[in-house]
């Protein structure tokens, strides 16, 4: 019995230690953003890796989400109330903008980019490249974490906007093909349902998602130890914790936004 | 006696319940080649990681040119590290960068040199460690020995005053080991650097070292010249110098 309490205590301590270290890491990353030298080259490279190369994944997935929503919503709504599917454009646009596109894009990026950040930083850690950086008078957080953080925070909102647009277009095609909803009616309801605050709410929360992905993935990479196995563990943790944090924080951010009328 | 470059005082470090360094003291003078020897796990690398401030001690201090590195802020530490070069055991080259970019790392970051000057300096550094025509290769394309040389070229890019070597001859063939020894001597003479070498290669010690310090049980057992080590009657020193499995030093 005492053994279980002992284990519980140890687990709690280790959790608290991790949260503390993560907080320090976050503060350090943000502080080092403003330190010289400002590495433009590294930032551009990360924007390419994190942002540009994620566009196909983000937009194609969202396109199909729009299509499948039209299919599901249209068919099941028509069964209940005839003619209600003429509001399809508004429904899809609202759902995509406020919730689906931001979260879906964030989760896809966590899988694609978070895993590679954790693996790359983790490998550098276990092969002493991070120690080498320090001895080369370069702060590892400054050199590795800052460009990845900035790239994720800049890229994710932009890709989300593209995902929203592509998703709405995907929905319009299926609405027309399967439910005979004319394009102009679809886009008219989308336009009248969608308010600026929906877009603000949907897109701004991806800043936080992007920050979470980059910080968690770099953090787990920095804590990797013990060779290939440690890098594997760090990668798993990066993806799993990013997924969880995205979805958990999504609730709280939305809740806070609603308090302010968004 | 000449000026002290690195001074270690009362350095203590434990990991969990294992005490690795139990209050060590050592002065390293400017321009000398100091070897720190000891068996695997005796704390040699931990000592090196304290001199480079990669680890923080439980107690004690390391002074570089008179200033305690554990009391420095980020800026001061960066300045000190610019004057130190470290060759890691596995070279620790940045594998996403080419050989050229690795060696140019410090030059690009901390000098205002234009590309032509950087190219010239990188080639010169590579020539100094005996390499040419490898600039465009990635570290993974090089042999272990070549990686070490590139690591050394990267470490000395900014003309450091102190160069630290972590087991430079471990895992390389005898000919290359001799070449690495020659390199340490050459850098010491040509650039006038203070050299600190972590090693358990006694041949290399007798060939290169000005002074030697042996770590045993968290303390320095003996600090002296290679001759002091040759002539020592201490059974621990004798066993290590002769490389015998029999003696007071436990193998595991």
Q: ipTM score of the complex?
A: 0.89
**Kind plus residue range of the DSSP H or E element containing A197:** helix A196-222
Who wins on pLDDT, B131 or A78?
B131
- Note whether A82 contacts B: Cβ–Cβ < 8 A: no
CATH label of the domain that carries residue B49: 3.40.50.300
**What are the C-alpha distances in Å from A15 to residues A20, A120, A216?**
9, 24, 14
Residue B188: CB atoms within 10 A of its CB come to: 18
**From its phi and psi, is residue B192 left (phi > 0), alpha (psi between -120 and 50) or beta?**
left
Check CB contact under 8 Å for B49 and A127. Answer: no
Answer yes or no: is B214 within a domain: yes
Separation of CA A243 from chain center: 8
Answer yes or no: is A149 within a domain: yes
Check CB contact under 8 Å for B94 and A131. Answer: no
Answer yes or no: is A78 within a domain: no
Check CB contact under 8 Å for A132 and B54. Answer: no
Answer yes or no: is A170 within a domain: no
Of the ranges A205-219, B67-81, B118-132, which is most confident?
A: A205-219
In this predicted structure, the answer to whether residue B171 has a pLDDT above a threshold of 80 is: no
Contact list, B92 vs chain A (CB under 8 Å):
127-129, 131-132
Answer yes or no: is B198 within a domain: yes
Answer yes or no: is A172 within a domain: no
Residue of chain B with shortest Cα separation from A129: B92
In this predicted structure, the answer to whether residue B208 has a pLDDT above a threshold of 80 is: yes
pLDDT of residue B16: 87
Helix axes B144-155, B115-128, angle to 10 degrees: 130
Domain boundaries, position A229: 2-60+101-161+194-259
Q: How far apart are CA B14 and CA B2, in angstroms?
A: 33
Answer yes or no: is B194 within a domain: yes
User: How confident is the model over B196-208, as a mean pLDDT?
Assistant: 92
A92 is written with which tokens?
A: 């899809």
**What are the C-alpha distances in Å from A5 to residues A2, A8, B15, B184, B230?**
5, 5, 25, 55, 56
Check CB contact under 8 Å for A129 and B93. Answer: yes
Task: Give A193's contacts (C-beta < 8 A, 6+ positions apart).
Answer: A87, A89, A90, A91, A93, A94
User: How confident is the model over B54-65, as a mean pLDDT?
Assistant: 93
Q: How many domains does chain A have?
A: 1
pLDDT of residue B252: 60
- Note whether A41 contacts B: Cβ–Cβ < 8 A: no
Answer yes or no: is B1 within a domain: no
> Which parts of chain A have pLDDT scores under 50?
none
Domain boundaries, position B188: 32-53+72-242
pLDDT of residue B62: 95
- Note whether B56 contacts A: Cβ–Cβ < 8 A: no
Answer yes or no: is A123 within a domain: yes
| Contact by Cβ (8 Å): B178, B110 | no
Q: Is the peptide bond before A63 cis (omega within 30 degrees of 0)?
A: no
Check CB contact under 8 Å for A136 and B89. Answer: no
Q: pTM for the full model? A: 0.89
pLDDT of residue B81: 93
- Note whether A135 contacts B: Cβ–Cβ < 8 A: yes
User: How confident is the model over B177-204, as a mean pLDDT?
Assistant: 90
Residue of chain A with shortest Cα separation from B49: A131
Q: How many domains does chain B have?
A: 1
Tell which residue, B208, B143, B127, B194, has the closest CA to residue B164: B194
- Note whether B15 contacts A: Cβ–Cβ < 8 A: no
């Amino acid at each position: 019995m005492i053994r279980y309490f002992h284990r519980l205590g140890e687990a709690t301590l280790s959790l608290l230690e991790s949260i503390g270290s993560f907080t320090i890491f976050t503060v350090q990353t943000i502080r080092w953003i403003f330190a010289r030298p400002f590495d433009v080259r590294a930032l551009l490279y990360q924007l390419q890796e994190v942002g540009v190369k994620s566009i196909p994944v983000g937009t194609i997935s969202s396109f199909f989400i729009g299509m499948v929503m039209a299919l599901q919503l249209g068919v099941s709504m028509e069964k209940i109330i005839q003619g209600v599917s003429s509001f399809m454009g508004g429904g899809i646009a609202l759902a995509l903008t406020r919730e689906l596109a931001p979260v879906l894009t964030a989760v896809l990026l966590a899988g694609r980019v978070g895993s590679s950040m954790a693996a790359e930083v983790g490998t550098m850690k276990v092969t002493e490249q991070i120690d080498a950086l320090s001895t080369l008078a370069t702060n590892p957080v400054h050199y590795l974490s800052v460009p990845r953080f900035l790239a994720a925070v800049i890229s994710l909102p932009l890709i989300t906007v593209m995902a929203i647009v592509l998703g709405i277009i995907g929905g319009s095609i299926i609405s027309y093909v399967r439910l005979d909803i004319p394009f102009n009616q679809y886009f008219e309801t989308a336009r009248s349902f969608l308010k600026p605050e929906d877009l603000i709410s949907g897109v701004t929360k991806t800043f936080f998602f992007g920050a979470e992905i980059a910080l968690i993935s770099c953090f787990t990479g920095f804590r990797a130890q013990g060779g290939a196995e440690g890098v594997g563990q760090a990668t798993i943790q990066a993806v799993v914790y990013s997924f969880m944090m995205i979805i958990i924080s999504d609730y709280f951010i939305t809740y806070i936004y609603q308090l302010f009328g968004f | 006696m000449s000026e002290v470059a690195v001074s270690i005082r009362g350095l203590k470090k434990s990991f969990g319940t294992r005490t690795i360094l139990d209050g060590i003291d050592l002065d390293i003078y400017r321009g000398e080649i100091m070897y720190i020897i000891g068996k695997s796990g005796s704390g040699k690398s931990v000592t090196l990681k304290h001199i480079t401030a990669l680890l923080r001690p439980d107690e004690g201090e390391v002074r570089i040119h008179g200033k305690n590195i554990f009391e420095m802020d980020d800026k001061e530490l960066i300045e000190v590290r610019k004057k130190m070069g470290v060759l890691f055991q596995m070279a620790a080259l940045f594998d996403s960068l080419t050989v050229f970019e690795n060696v140019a790392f410090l030059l690009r970051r901390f000098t205002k040199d234009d590309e032509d000057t950087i190219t010239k300096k990188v080639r010169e550094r590579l020539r100094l460690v005996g390499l040419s025509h490898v600039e465009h290769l990635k570290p993974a394309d090089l042999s272990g020995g070549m990686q070490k040389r590139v690591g050394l070229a990267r470490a000395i890019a900014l003309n450091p005053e102190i160069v630290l070597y972590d087991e430079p001859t471990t895992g390389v063939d005898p000919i290359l080991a001799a070449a690495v020894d020659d390199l340490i001597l050459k850098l010491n003479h040509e650039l006038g650097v203070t050299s600190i070498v972590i090693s358990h290669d006694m041949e290399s010690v007798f060939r290169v070292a000005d002074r030697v310090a042996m770590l045993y049980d968290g303390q320095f057992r003996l600090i002296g010249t290679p001759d002091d080590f040759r002539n020592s009657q201490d059974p621990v020193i004798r066993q290590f110098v002769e490389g015998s499995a029999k003696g007071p030093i436990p193998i595991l």
